[in-house]
């Protein structure tokens, strides 16, 4: 009745009953299927229901007699494209086939676009995700948009969240024979090392912001591990790359919408460090990683950089706004507070781990900084 070749179609199979029809559909995967309602073994409606479930893009057209019209109405609920009444005439058949062909062409075009979009997404997944993360930290997205895109990128931040910010200072190094790095290569290397450091216990998401600072957003599963993370990152980067980085971190205590404000706070904190001289930056790094040594002193620090203690002390006061001992004490007490969040850690153990020879000495230093004793603080004496 129709010139199928002119329609760019080909009849690929015929079936005498419903069972054979399903077998051929699975084998041939037709685009267009004509089904007579009244066929043996399995009715046309049953075939239509199964095909609709297995191959939703297959266009189905039912053939029915006048006395089967009510069945055809039911078929429309099964995603059937249309139906034809017997006896089928050429005009009606041509009209429905041309509409079906138009629908198939739309399916083909949609499939083409979807394949293109999926390939584009796969090739550019990281850059697209990083663009979302940058829009998030800069406060450009609503809460709904954040949640939708977190789900899309399969980022699970259902627990408490922490933010890590790393600024690479590529010209500073304690090591002799320091290698001059290409800036982008150095940033790439720092990101790789950081991923190794933070991924051990966390599903962290690392990306660069507009300043080329490395930003990490990660769920906090263990508060003590999170507090130790910055020092671990500094230690690993120093070990593998022999370069200095500034690392700051903070918990997000509220909702995910608070991420932009925390990011801005960290940004201000790390930008203050830009004005430090190289010797102060290295001294701070050395103090931050050696505070637990009981005999640590200004003399030890000065010998590390082969300068006079008096000169180093003056630099620290000018740029850090604190003397060596004041800054060392602050680092020790902050670390002690982190350790005290673990109820299993005894007070004398806390004192030893932060560089104090006795619990009494530790308690005196703690009270001077915090205004209460360590015991009172642990009981909730300070908010």
The mean per-residue pLDDT over the stretch 333-344 comes to: 86
The mean per-residue pLDDT over the stretch 3-15 comes to: 90
Instruction: For residue 59, give the 3-state DSSP assignment.
Output: strand
Q: pTM of the entire structure?
A: 0.57
Residue 136 has pLDDT above 90, yes or no: yes
pLDDT tier at 179, thresholds 50, 70, 90: low
For the record, the structure tokens of 23 come out as 């077998």
Nearest to 237 by CA among 332, 170, 305: 170
The sheet with strand 32-36 has its strands ordered as 32-36, 59-64, 82-85
- List, for residues 30-50, the tens digit of each pLDDT value: 999 999 888 889 888 889 889
pLDDT, residue 173, reads 46
For the record, the structure tokens of 192 come out as 């790789």
pLDDT tier at 176, thresholds 50, 70, 90: very low
> How far apart are the C-alpha atoms of 163 and 133, rounded to whole Å?
12
The mean per-residue pLDDT over the stretch 127-141 comes to: 91
Pairing mode of beta strands 59-64, 82-85: parallel
Whole-number percent of the chain with pLDDT over 70: 91
A 10 A CB-CB count for 314 gives 12
pLDDT, residue 67, reads 60
- List, for residues 323-337, the tens digit of each pLDDT value: 999 999 999 998 898
- List, for residues 297-324, the tens digit of each pLDDT value: 999 999 988 899 999 999 999 888 889 9
Before 369, cis peptide (omega within 30)? no
Would 18-122 and 124-274 be classified into the same CATH topology? no
- List, for residues 46-98, the tens digit of each pLDDT value: 898 899 888 888 899 888 876 666 665 676 677 788 888 888 888 999 999 99
> Residue 241 phi/psi, 5° resolution?
-115, -15
Q: Which helix (H) or strand (E) holds 61?
A: strand 59-64
> How far apart are the C-alpha atoms of 62 and 35, rounded to whole Å?
5
Q: How far is CA 346 from the centre of its chain?
A: 36
Q: Which helix (H) or strand (E) holds 60?
A: strand 59-64
1 vs 72: which has the higher pLDDT: 1
Residue 240 has pLDDT above 80, yes or no: yes
The mean per-residue pLDDT over the stretch 280-294 comes to: 87
For the record, the structure tokens of 131 come out as 């663009």
CATH class of this structure's domain 18-122: alpha beta
- Domain residue spans in the chain? 18-122, 124-274, 276-383
What is the fold of 276-383? Arc Repressor Mutant, subunit A (1.10.10)
> How far apart are the C-alpha atoms of 294 and 334, rounded to whole Å?
16
CATH number of 124-274: 3.30.70.270
Pairing mode of beta strands 214-219, 32-36: unpaired
**Alpha-carbon separation of residue 305 from 1, 168, 291 (angstroms):** 95, 21, 17
């Amino acid at each position: 009745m129709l010139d199928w070749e002119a329609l760019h179609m080909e009849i690929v199979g015929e079936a005498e009953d419903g069972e054979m029809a399903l077998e051929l559909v699975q084998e041939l995967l037709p685009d267009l299927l004509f089904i007579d309602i009244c066929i043996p073994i399995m009715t046309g409606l049953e075939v239509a229901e199964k095909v609709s479930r297995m191959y939703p893009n297959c266009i189905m057209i039912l053939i029915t007699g006048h006395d089967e019209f009510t069945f055809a109405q039911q078929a429309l609920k099964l995603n059937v494209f249309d139906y034809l009444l017997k006896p089928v005439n050429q005009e009606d058949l041509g009209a429905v086939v041309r509409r079906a062909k138009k629908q198939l062409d739309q399916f083909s075009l949609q499939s083409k676009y979807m394949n293109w979009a999926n390939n584009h997404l796969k090739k550019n997944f990281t850059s697209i995700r990083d663009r979302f993360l940058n829009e998030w930290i800069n406060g450009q997205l609503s809460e709904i948009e954040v949640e939708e895109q977190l789900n899309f990128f399969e980022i699970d931040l259902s627990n408490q969240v922490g933010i890590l910010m790393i600024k690479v200072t590529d010209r500073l190094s304690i090591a002799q024979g320091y290698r001059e790095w290409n800036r982008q290569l150095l940033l790439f290397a720092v990101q790789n090392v950081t991923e190794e450091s933070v991924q051990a216990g966390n599903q962290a998401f690392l990306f660069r912001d507009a300043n080329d600072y490395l930003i990490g957003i990660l769920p906090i599963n263990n508060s003590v591990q999170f507090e130790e993370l910055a020092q671990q990152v500094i230690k690993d980067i120093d070990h593998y790359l022999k370069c200095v980085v500034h690392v700051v971190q903070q918990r997000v205590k509220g909702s995910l919408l608070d991420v932009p404000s925390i990011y801005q706070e960290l940004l201000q904190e790390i930008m203050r460090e830009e004005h430090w001289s190289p010797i102060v930056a290295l001294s701070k790094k050395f103090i931050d990683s050696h505070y637990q040594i009981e005999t640590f002193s200004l003399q030890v620090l000065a010998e590390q950089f082969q300068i006079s203690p008096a000169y180093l002390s003056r630099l620290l006061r000018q740029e850090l706004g604190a003397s060596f001992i004041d800054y060392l004490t602050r680092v020790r007490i902050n670390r002690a507070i982190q350790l005290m969040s673990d109820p299993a850690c005894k007070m004398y153990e806390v004192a030893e781990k932060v560089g104090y020879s006795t619990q009494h000495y530790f308690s005196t230093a703690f009270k001077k900084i915090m205004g209460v004793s360590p015991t009172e603080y642990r009981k909730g004496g300070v908010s």
